[in-house]
Structure formats: structure tokens, C-alpha cells
Structure 1
Amino acid sequence: MTALITDDGIVTRWPAKAADRVLVLDFLAASFEAGRDYAEREVNDILKRHHGFGDWALLRRELFESGRFLRNPLTAIYRRVEAQ
């Protein structure tokens, strides 16, 4: 896992293994406050600060598709889901 996330908290690449993707998504989701609304631009800005491979849209989509975020399709407002 250390090869995926630097000591500075930067995700270096999108992992091929599903188990590693779960760890990366959990790490990234922890960068957001649960229950707070985020505009898409805010989500992008936070994700840009926490990865080094230039694909924040992939990360945003994966956070949503994995159930870690909810997204209002009319307003593009995101909200982190509380971990179960």
C-alpha cells in the first residue's frame, strides 16, 4: 500500500487490484466531512490535492459508484456517506 500512497498523503496511481482500490477510496473519502455538501468543483479541488496522476474525474466517479458519495444529479452536489 505504501507504493500507492506517499507519506505526504498523495495517491500515486490508480491500483489494478480491487482490494487496493478499496483502500485508496477509503483514504480519499476520509478527506471529506460526512454530512457536508460539496460542489463538484470543491470535490475536484480536494481530489487534486490528494493524487498525483491527473485523473480526479476517475476518483470522483469511483467515490460515487462505490457508494461512498451521494450525488444530486440536478445540482451536481456531492455528499460523503457515513461509513457503516
Structure 2
Amino acid sequence: MELANFLHDGKLITIPRKQKAKEVLFDALIDKFEFDHDYSEKEVNEILAEVYDDYAILRRYLVDTGRLARDDYGHHYRRIKK
């Protein structure tokens, strides 16, 4: 599955429906984050907003799929090693 099929000028057009395509997207997105670095919610939003206007949904997917960890208050995020 090619991630480029869902991008136009570096921006995500739509979130893929098929799970395999979503996994490719999420793997590409998580590579924008460094290990051993704490990110504020604002920083995460800024990184994801470069890719898609609805950055909140992307943030939620990355947390829900175990790629990003979020503190109990949603203030700090950290990339998880898989």
C-alpha cells in the first residue's frame, strides 16, 4: 500500500478506510516523533497539522494504536518503542 495515494502536495487528503492502509499511514506519522522526547499536546498538534487539518483525529489514532503514550491529563506525549 502506497502512502502517496492518500497525499497531495505532502498533505493527507483523507484517512484511508482499510486497516492495512491506516497502519502504513500511522507508521509514517509516528516517524515524525523522536524516541526519548516528551512532547506537549501543542507540539504534537503542530507536527500533525502539517499533514492533515484534523490533527486531533490523527493524535487519537496514534495514541489508540499504541504508537504514542499520553499522560493521564493529555498534556504530555511520548513515542512508544514497539
TM-score (norm 1): 0.85
Instruction: Decide which moves more: 57-66 or 8-17.
Output: 8-17
User: After the TM superposition, which residues 1-80 of structure 1 pair with which residues of structure 2 at under 5 Å, given as runs?
Assistant: 1=2, 2-6=4-8, 9-51=10-52, 54-74=53-73, 76-80=75-79
Deviations 1:27-82 (A, max 9, x none): 0000010121000000000001122xx21000000000000010001352000112
C-alpha separation in 2, matches of 1:75 and 1:25: 19
Compare the two structures and name the one with the higher helix fraction. 2
Secondary structure class of the residue paired with 1:78: strand
Structure 2 unmatched ranges of 5 or more: none
C-alpha separation in 2, matches of 1:14 and 1:75: 23
Change in Cα spacing, 1:17 to 1:42, as seen in structure 2 (3 Å) is same
C-alpha separation in 2, matches of 1:65 and 1:11: 19
Matched residue type, 1:59: L
Counting matched residue pairs gives 80
TM-score (norm 2): 0.87
Q: Could you list the structure 1 runs, at least 4 aligned residues long, displaced by more than 4 angstroms after superposition.
A: none
**RMSD (CA atoms):** 1.5
